[in-house]
């Protein structure tokens, strides 16, 4: 509704414009009652109203291209170039950015805050954003700001579970969820190699598992470990062992290449006797490839090696390996559908969408 403004919201919710302003911006001196919050919330949803904070910076008749915000929720303080340097995130954002421009004429903005508990910072970061995608851990202040601004939020994760951080007391939790299952990816790879005749399995986990980093382990690392263990338990005719690189406090994916090489040097007989090696990701897999080559073993034939992620920059490495990946095209399509849907409808129940994964034979 083009004529809908803060006065319309106040009138229909039977509150003052100051109360509506305080609700939207989180600037109330005294707490707004739950009943009042709900009335304002319901009216904003019914009228599909979102405050245009940046409107004062442009002429009233001016048009503004849409903007999608992306937050690396696992560490919302992560800088832009660090975020796009993560292989999984890079692959996702490249495809998403192209789709946004083609389908909506929107731009993509990677957001971060210095203080994740600062409402002021979240308010500033979300100015002019039309939809927000958060990958991984959800921040309480971020969620509260998106609700108060009636800003669509999509929670994206590579596991069925995800973390929350901060005080969610009194925060209205409203977001759509899109996820895929890392545990199923590993189980599918196991079944693929089992069908090919493998019976002696080696799983190379990340150093970011709970037993090595109990304070803040990777949910994806644990999911992949569970996937391997459940697949192994389902096949009593198989042998399997989990090897994990040491925890050195640096959890970067590229560092894992060195750590896994060091790990396998101390477990060379395990690698020599394995029929199949299933790795936490493509980088770990290529560490196994390099160690196996020194034993005169190469992937394919009597030694099978798989990764996960189908990282673009490893596609042209040699020798080729089997890998597993989320369906990036399907993921991008579902995200675009959700964005389009939520621009028109803010009242329908939150959606929960699982994206399939598939095995890639390079």
* Amino acid 312: pLDDT: 85
Of 236, 235, 186, 246, nearest to 213 (Cα)?
246
Q: What percent of the chain has pLDDT over 70?
A: 96
The DSSP secondary-structure symbol of 126 reads: T
Contact by Cβ (8 Å): 344, 327: no
Sheet holding 131-135, edge to edge: 107-111, 67-72, 131-135, 153-157, 176-179, 352-354
Q: Which residue has 């596609």 as its token pair? A: 315
* Amino acid 250: pLDDT: 67
The dihedral through the CA atoms of 326, 330, 332, 337 has a sign that is negative
**Residues 341-351: tens digit of each pLDDT:** 999 999 999 99
**Residues 27-56: tens digit of each pLDDT:** 888 999 999 999 999 999 999 998 765 543
Angstrom distances, CA of residue 127 to CA of 5, 66, 120, 139, 211: 17, 12, 11, 17, 41
Of 313, 311, 325, 317, nearest to 299 (Cα)?
317
* Amino acid 56: pLDDT: 37
Angstrom distances, CA of residue 31 to CA of 19, 26, 27, 123, 149: 10, 10, 10, 18, 17
Asked whether the bond before 319 is cis by omega within 30 degrees of 0, the reply is yes
Q: Give the Cα separation of 361 and 190 in Å (integer).
A: 14
Q: Is 182 helix (H, G, I), strand (E, B) or coil?
A: helix
* Amino acid 59: pLDDT: 36
Could you tell me the two tokens for 155? Answer: 């929670």
Return phi, psi of residue 240, to 5°: -150, 150
Q: What is the pTM of this model?
A: 0.87
Q: What is the CATH number of domain 182-325?
A: 3.40.50.2300
Matching fold, domains 56-180+329-356 and 182-325: yes
Intervals of the chain under pLDDT 70: 1-2, 52-63, 250-251
Q: Give the Cα separation of 352 and 356 in Å (integer).
A: 13
Task: Please determine, looking at this structure, whether the domain spanning 56-180+329-356 carries the CATH number 3.50.50.60.
Answer: no
* Amino acid 51: pLDDT: 79
Please state the domain extents for the chain.
6-49, 56-180+329-356, 182-325
Contact by Cβ (8 Å): 83, 112: yes
């Amino acid at each position: 509704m083009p004529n809908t403004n803060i006065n319309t919201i106040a009138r229909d919710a039977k509150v003052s414009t100051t109360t509506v302003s305080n609700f939207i911006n989180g600037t109330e001196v005294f707490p707004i009652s739950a009943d009042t919050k709900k009335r304002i919330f319901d009216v904003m949803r019914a009228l599909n109203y979102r405050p245009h904070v940046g409107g004062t910076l442009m002429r009233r008749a001016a048009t503004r291209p849409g903007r999608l915000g992306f937050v690396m929720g696992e560490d919302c303080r992560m800088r832009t170039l660090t975020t796009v340097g993560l292989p999984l995130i890079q692959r996702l954002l490249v495809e998403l950015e192209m789709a946004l421009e083609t389908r909506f004429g929107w731009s993509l903005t990677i957001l971060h805050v210095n203080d994740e508990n600062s409402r002021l910072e979240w308010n500033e970061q979300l100015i002019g954003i039309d939809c927000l995608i958060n990958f991984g851990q959800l921040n309480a202040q971020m969620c509260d700001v998106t609700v108060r601004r009636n800003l669509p939020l999509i929670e994206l994760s590579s596991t069925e579970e995800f973390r929350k951080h901060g005080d969610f007391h009194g925060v209205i939790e409203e977001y759509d969820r899109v996820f895929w299952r890392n545990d199923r990816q590993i189980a599918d790879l196991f079944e693929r190699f089992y069908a090919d005749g493998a019976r002696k399995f080696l799983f190379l986990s990340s150093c970011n598992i709970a037993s090595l980093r109990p304070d803040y382990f990777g949910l994806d690392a644990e999911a992949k470990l569970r996937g391997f263990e459940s697949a192994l338990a389902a096949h009593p005719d198989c042998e399997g062992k989990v090897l994990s690189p040491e925890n050195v406090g640096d959890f970067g994916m590229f560092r894992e290449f060195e750590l896994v090489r060091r790990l396998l040097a101390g477990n060379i007989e395990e690698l020599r006797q394995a029929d199949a090696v299933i790795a936490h990701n493509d980088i770990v897999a290529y560490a196994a490839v390099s160690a196996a080559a020194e034993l005169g073993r190469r992937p394919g034939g009597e030694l099978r090696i798989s990764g996960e992620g189908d990282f673009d920059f490893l596609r042209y490495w040699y020798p080729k390996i089997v890998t597993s990946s989320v369906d990036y095209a399907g993921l991008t399509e579902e995200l675009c559908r959700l964005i389009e849907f939520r621009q028109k409808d803010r009242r329908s129940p939150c959606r929960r969408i699982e994206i399939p994964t598939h095995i890639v034979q390079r």
